[in-house]
Copies of this chain bind each other. A is one copy, B any other.
Amino acid sequence: MADNGTAPAALFERHQSTLQEAVAAIHGRYFWTPHPESPSPKVYGDEAAPEGQAAFEGYLGKDFPLDQPGGDDRIITERSPYGISLGVGYPHADADALIAAAEAARPSWRDVGPQGRAGVCMEILHRINRRSFEMAHAVQHTSGQAFVMAFQAGGPHAQDRGLEAVAYGYDTMTRYAGAARWEKPQRKGDPLVMDKRFHVVPRGVALVIGCNTFPTWNSYPGIFASLVTGNPVVVKPHPRAVLPLAITVAVAREVLAEAGLDPNTVLLAAERADEKLAATLALRPEVKIVDFTGSTEFGDWLEENARQTFVCTEKAGVNAIVIDSTDAYKQMLGNIAFSLSLYSGQMCTTPQNIFVPGGGIETDEGHKSAEQVGADLAASVSRLLGDAARATGVLGAIANDGVLRRIEEAGKLGETVLESTDIAHPDFADATVRTPVIVRLDADRRDVYGREHFGPISFVVTTADTDEALRLMRETIAERGALTAAVYATGEDVLAAAEKAALEAGVNLSANLTGQVFVNQSAAFSDYHGSGANPAATSSLTDPGYVSGRFDFVQSRRHA
């Protein structure tokens, strides 16, 4: 049984003021976070870094400590992109065992109510935050992200997205009265008086399908949106990125147990490669919600086939930059070069298509031909990655063989402006590290740039003029989707035209980024990630539609 300090009501009270701040932030959309992004001892304490590393190393070569239903079967499916052996064994259960356990947990989690569930969710996030160093190593050695990025994107930024989902869910559930007295005046005599109660009814078991590259950041919105709205969650990690979600599930189960609740409210569904457990689970009638990040092919399959569910998918896209003109040429090139290089372009938000007018562009350094822009961008990338230690801190490692193969074959797609090279990692001899490749294409090669080439592969596409560039951006995104778009222009007319094109394409736009904000990055509580308005994603992280599909209101009434 829960003692008073760990019961849901106590957890709600403990975290209530932070929740109120989070709700205010999603309304105001200003900068806010309770999760410091700096991996500094001044913030997380002197012991946090060594303890986190020790915790990570303690998992290696052993069975992960997770007591779940489904028997003693253990599986090992991960290898680090940095070449080290992980060898962590995870409990393996079949769909029947997972669904039965989640279904059994369902009524008790529903009956906790919105406040208590928000309290439990926030305590889970709070404890995950304190384990951000441990999580950083786990994310680094599954995704291939460099350590600092793994800390930030896999830790505090992912926690922010989780908390944002809690805030949206809590706000949407509690914004409407839970009880009301209804008094209808009558022409003669006393009014009709009814007492009414309004309940949040969760949809059912939720399935969250994680990806290889951002195991926590892309999963936390779905996990916490479904949890706070009352649905038990089965977390199905990518077979190559299990550890970050195993830690997450372990923390969640610990908090649930301490709160006197059924730990099977959150379950890990580790699977063997090619087991297709996600597809099996998604078709189970008990499963009513699916969150997915990954390939267009499987995302489309889920949308077509998991008909009994509320499906949120984030799939591939053709992110675009239109360069019209700039008054900060060097800074523009530096900003784009960093965006192309960060985590070896393995972000769903990395720009792919850079549209440049064939007649060149006006800059603060004079007119630049389209050819010159491509060459200068290549030089900027090379400069950024000239030093191996700095390069690997930006690039991280290549997550999987699919990316590697696409890099190797990119040269055949057009005229190579920048070749990819190997870099030896100073700390990990067997790490797979590659620099970006840039290819030049004419505007008529839409067969190439009109589809996604996931990884550090981008195209400088020469267009007739800026109008054609904006049109191609709009058309390719409307057709194939995108999570990001950017424009560089000195004239307000072009910026307005770009904004209009972005609205038509349903894509979030960044204008004239030249400093330490990059088009690949979005800030929780302020920036929307994805929109739902183009084929790259069915919804935004996070907006009202993302949470309201996870529960219904059901009422009762009687005479007062």
Contacts and interface: CB of A to CB of B under 8 A. Distances in A.
A304 B305 CA distance: 10
Contacts of A185: 31
Given A177-B29, A196-B527, A508 B555 contact: yes
B499 A556 contact: yes
A180 B555 contact: no
A176 B543 CA distance: 9
Interface residues of A, number: 68
Contacts of A506: 201, 552, 554
Nearest to A557: B510
A553 B27 CA distance: 13
B183 A31 contact: yes
B194 A517 contact: yes
A554 B502 CA distance: 8
A177 B28 contact: yes
A180 B185 CA distance: 44
Interface string A522-533: 010011100111
A176 B29 contact: yes
Contact of A531 (B508, B528, B553, B557): B553
A235 interface: no
A510 B28 contact: no
A26 interface: yes
A194 to B, nearest CB: 6
A30 interface: yes
21 contacts: A27-B175, A28-B180, A29-B177, A29-B182, A30-B177, A31-B184, A197-B499, A201-B503, A304-B307, A509-B557, A510-B557, A513-B558, A515-B559, A517-B557, A528-B554, A531-B553, A533-B554, A539-B552, A540-B553, A543-B548, A548-B548
Closest 9 CB pairs of A and B: A545-B548, A511-B558, A533-B552, A544-B548, A29-B180, A509-B556, A532-B552, A29-B177, A31-B184
